[in-house]
Structure 1
Amino acid sequence: MRYGLATIAALGALTLPLPALAHPHIFAEARLEIVAGDDGNIAELQNVWRFDEVFSSSVLLDFDKNTNLKLDPSELAALGETMRKSLADFHYFTTITLNGANMPINKPDVIHVSLKDNQLLVLFSVKPQKPVPLKGRLTFGIYDPSLYTSIDFPTDSDLVLKGASFSKCQHKVVRPDPDEVISQNSSTLTDAFFNDPTGTDMTKLFATRLEVTC
C-alpha cells in the first residue's frame, strides 16, 4: 500500500494510507521568496509553509515524546531533520526550470520548525546545484507531485522576487485553470495518471507558479 508523501516526510512514524483517487489530504499555505545574487544567478529559494490544524495536531501527537502536549526544542529539531531527510527524494516540492529544463536543488542545511496557533510552521532555504542564470524564461513553484498535499499561495504577493538582478526581468504569477489544463492535455492526462500521479510529472501543470522572463 502506498502512503501519503507529506505524512511520511513530516511524521516519519505515522503511516496514513493514500487512496487510489488523488486528492489533497493535507493543506498548507506557502510563501516563496526567490533571491538573486549580485552575480546574476539565482542564489536561493526561501520557503515558508504553514500547515492546517488537523495535520499539525497529528504531528504534535507523534513527535511529543515526553507527552507534555507541546513540542520542545529537541522535538522540533527532530521533526525538522525528519522532513529534511524524507523530502529529499521529492526535491522539497520545489521546482525551478530554465527555458523548460528542470534545475536540481541541493538539500537544505536545516529545516526550522515551530508550532504557532496550533499550526505547524516550516521554514527552509534551498540552493540550485549549479548556476541558474537570469537569462531566458524561468519558472518557480512549490507542489506535491502525489497531490496528497495541497500547497497554496494565498495571494500573488506570496511569490516574491528579491535582488537587484531582477530589475531587468518581467514576471507574472500563473494560476492554472484545471479545466483548461485537462482540455489542453487530454492526450497525455490518462486514467493511469489520475490513479498514480507519482508516476508522472504532469501535476506541475496544475500548480501555481511564478514565471520570470529576463
Structure 2
Amino acid sequence: MRWLVTLVTCCLPIPAMTHPHVFIDTGLEFVVDASGQLTHVRVTWAYDEFYSLLVLEDMKLDQDGDGILSKSEQDHLSGFDAQWDQGYNGDLVVWSESEVLPLSGPLEPKALMEDGRIVTSHLRSVEGGPVPATALSAKAFDETYYTAYDLTRPVTVSGSKTCQIDRVEPDVDGQLAQMQAFLLTLDANYDLEENDIPMVGENFATEIRISCPNT
C-alpha cells in the first residue's frame, strides 16, 4: 500500500504535498464475552521508521540511538498518541448490522520499541454496553489518506473460538483510476483549503468482517 500513497502524493497539487505522510501497520483484537457479544476492540499501531525517529527525537528519547528504551522512557512514551481531540474517531469505524458503533476513547495505552519502530496499543470499549457479534465489520482508515493504515498485523477475536474472520480487500486499481481522473481535472492553482476534495481514505481500506454464532 505504501507505493500507492507515494504515487498519489506525487500526483497531488503542490499545497497537498506539504502535509507529512505516516504509515502505520495495524492490528485489531475484537474482544467477545462468553455470550458472544463484542465488548472491546484493542488496536495496535506500528509506526514507520521515519515517523518513529521523529517522535523519539521530539520527546528526547533513545538518545543513544540503540532502539532500546529504558523503563522510564517507555513509560514516558506510552500514551503519546492517545491525546485525542474531541470528536476524533481514532481512525477506526466498527459497524454492527450497518450501524456505526460508538467507541470510547483510548484506554490502557502502551508503547514499546520493535526493530526501530514505535509500536503502541490501546483498548476501546463499546459505549452503551456490549452488542451481539453476529455481524460486525470494521475499517481502519484516515479519511484524508494522509495517514495510511495497513492491516498487516494480526486481526483476531478473543473470548470465542467459533468466530469467523473475513477480509475484503479494496479495489485499489479502480479507486486509483478514479482518483487519477479527478486529479487531472485540477491545476496548480487549485486551493485545497477553499475547495472540497474527495475523502478517499475509506476507499483504500481493508474491511474486516466478524461473525460469531449466537451462544
Three-state SS of the structure 2 residue aligned to 1:205 is helix
2:171 aligned with 1:180: no
The match for 1:37 is 33
Tell whether the 8 Å contact from 1:60 to 1:71 is kept in structure 2 after alignment. Answer: no
1:1-214 → structure 2 map (5 Å cutoff): 19-20=15-16, 25-64=21-60, 69=65, 71-86=69-84, 89-130=87-128, 131-135=130-134, 137-154=135-152, 158-164=154-160, 167=162, 170-181=164-175, 203-213=201-211
Three-state SS of the structure 2 residue aligned to 1:57 is helix
Residue 144 of structure 2 aligns to which amino acid in structure 1?
Answer: S
Tell whether the 8 Å contact from 1:96 to 1:138 is kept in structure 2 after alignment. Answer: yes
TM-superposed CA distance for 1:55, in Å, is 0.6
Distance 1:59 1:198 in 2: 31
Three-state SS of the structure 2 residue aligned to 1:83 is coil
Distance 2:209 2:18 in 1: 26
The match for 1:9 is none
State the Cα deviation string for residues 140-192 of structure 1 (Å, max 9, x = none): 2221222111111227xx2222332x62x54410111134347899xxxxx89
Three-state SS of the structure 2 residue aligned to 1:34 is strand
Distance 2:101 2:159 in 1: 20
TM-superposed CA distance for 1:97, in Å, is 0.5
Compared with structure 1, are the counterparts of its residues 183 and 26 closer, same or farther at alpha carbon in structure 2 (3 Å cutoff)? closer
Distance 2:99 2:200 in 1: 14
State the Cα deviation string for residues 65-120 of structure 1 (Å, max 9, x = none): 69565754444434433321226642222211112221111123231111232110
Structure whose residues are more often helix by fraction: 1
Q: Which runs of 5+ in 1 are unaligned?
A: 1-17, 186-190
Distance 1:85 1:103 in 2: 21
Distance 2:23 2:196 in 1: 18
Residue 26 of structure 1 aligns to which amino acid in structure 2?
Answer: V
Tell whether the 8 Å contact from 2:96 to 2:136 is kept in structure 1 after alignment. Answer: yes
Residue 28 of structure 2 aligns to which amino acid in structure 1?
Answer: L
Residue 42 of structure 2 aligns to which amino acid in structure 1?
Answer: Q
State the Cα deviation string for residues 21-63 of structure 1 (Å, max 9, x = none): 6997111212211121113210211222211111110011001
* RMSD of Structure 2 on Structure 1 (CA): 3.7
Residue 159 of structure 1 aligns to which amino acid in structure 2?
Answer: V
Three-state SS of the structure 2 residue aligned to 1:126 is strand
How many matched pairs? 187
Distance 1:105 1:134 in 2: 15
Larger Rg: 2
Residue 170 of structure 2 aligns to which amino acid in structure 1?
Answer: P
TM-score, structure 1 as length reference: 0.70
Q: Which runs of 5+ in 2 are unaligned?
A: 1-13, 180-184, 187-191
